[in-house]
Amino acid sequence: MKTLDREVLKKVIPLQDRLESGHRSCRGCVAVPLAARHVLRAIEGPVVVACATGCMEVTTSIYPETSWNVPWIHNTFENVAATLSGVEASYNVLKKKGKISKETTFVAFGGDGGTYDIGLQSLSGMLERGHNILYVCYDNEGYMNTGNQRSSATPQGAITTTTPAGKKVPGKKRRRKDLTEVVAGHDIEYVAQSNIAYQQDVYNKVKKALTYKGPKFINIYAPCILGWKVQSDMGLEVARLATESHFWPLYEVEQGQYKMTYKPEKQASFDEYLKLQGRFKHLAKPENKKLVQEMKDNIDQKYQYLFKKCDCLGAE
């Protein structure tokens, strides 16, 4: 599965932008503009968006300007799912009273800080209560809005401002949380893991998610150029290698059934994925060879476990 060029996208994805240009994302950022645009392009009809505090909110809504062409709500880090739950509940009451007739889609965006960590309780409540909301996490593996502190999505071995690498500590010690599986444990209709480098996959999963009533969740891998110390033109390549190396597999859990939506023909080099990111440069030192092998073994183990759970014959 390759990233589609613009001519192909014109045929398969409506190019109506609900997030306009002129936002203040970092040069080369693929998380905020691509995640928001490709998710919203897959939605027909009225939509209400809520954003947790984070890169997406800060770069698109500095007062008195906004890049949003839809009704939009800003929330603190921890409560975007709770706030949009209230909006969705109010909408249902007004619709029942005949004061609203249009079908409206509700979408919550949160980074990994506001989703994996601070907002997990709020998200879990939204899922358990059954609100008809699509929650999208743009996962850039750290608290990038506040200076690149580690989150529970930060991978093992990565340098952040709160997990520096030195003689005794080689970056973050702990492995990352598997939030997609945590959400799948809530037994909702649709959960998926996607990647901003695979635009058709994002589009397809949003479309499928919206065929279900109730809560839906999509976790989108979205590199941070600044925090990951990646060249500004290499964000999509890093994202692609994450999936091709099996670090970030693309799959969905539809009504409890696992399906891998893309299986690389050949596993790409995880070493190459690491080399493109300055946050892992210390792992090239001989004393960290054991840690790198541990990371590789963990990736292979988790991938094989996932592969066994999936309907692999249906993989593209």
Tens digits of per-residue pLDDT, 30-74?
777 888 888 998 998 999 999 999 888 888 888 888 888 899 999
Q: What are phi and psi of 47, to 5 degrees?
A: -145, 145
Measured CA to CA, the distance from residue 125 to residue 246 in angstroms comes to 31
For residue 65, the model assigns a pLDDT of 83
* Residue-wise DSSP of 181-201: HHHHTT--SEEEEEETT-HHH
Query: pLDDT at position 316, please?
Result: 46
pLDDT > 60? residue 115: yes
Residue 16 has pLDDT above 70, yes or no: no
Asked whether the predicted pLDDT for residue 97 surpasses 80, the reply is yes
Determine the average pLDDT of the residues in 71-90. Answer: 95
- As a whole number, the mean pLDDT across the chain is 91
Tell me, what's the pLDDT at 167? 87
Domains, the chain, with CATH or none: 6-314 (3.40.50.970)
Q: What is the pLDDT of residues 204-227, one digit of tens each?
A: 999 999 999 999 999 999 999 999
Q: What's the whole-model pTM score?
A: 0.92
Q: What tokens appear for 14 in the block?
A: 């409506």
Distance of CA 279 to the CA centre of its chain: 20
Pairing, β 134-139 against β 105-111: parallel
The DSSP 8-state label assigned to residue 281 in this structure reads G
Best mean pLDDT range from 2-11, 12-21, 71-80: 71-80
CA 142 remoteness from chain centre = 12
> How buried is residue 295: exposed, middle or buried, by Cβ count under 10 Å (0-12/13-18/19+)?
buried
Could you give the CA distance from residue 174 to residue 155 in angstroms, rounded to a whole number? 8
Provide the pairing of β-strand 190-195 with 250-254.
antiparallel
Tens digit of pLDDT for each residue in 176-209?
Answer: 999 999 999 999 999 999 999 999 999 999 999 9
What average pLDDT does range 111-133 have in this prediction?
97
Name every residue whose Cβ is closer than 8 Å to that of residue 147 and which is 6 or more positions away in sequence.
161
| Tens-digit pLDDT profile for residues 236-265 | 999 999 999 999 999 999 999 999 999 999
Cα-based distances in Å from 97 to 93, 94, 178: 6, 5, 41
| C-alpha to C-alpha distance for 144 and 141, rounded to whole angstroms | 8
Mean pLDDT of 155-168: 95
H-only helix segments in the chain: 6-12, 32-41, 55-60, 80-96, 112, 120-129, 179-184, 199-209, 225-228, 235-244, 270-275, 289-309
Q: Are strands 190-195 and 105-111 parallel, antiparallel or unpaired?
A: unpaired
The residue written with tokens 């994996």 in the block is 116
- The three-class DSSP label of residue 306 is helix
Confidence grade of residue 91 (pLDDT, cut at 50, 70, 90): very high
Location of structure tokens 């014959």: 313
Q: Which of 231, 202, 199 is nearest to 26 (CA)?
A: 231
Q: If you average pLDDT over residues 112-128, what whole number do you get?
A: 97
219: three-class secondary structure by DSSP: strand
Token readout for 252 is: 């969905």
pLDDT value of residue 251: 97
Q: What is the pLDDT of residues 263-299, one digit of tens each?
A: 999 999 999 999 999 999 999 999 999 999 999 999 9
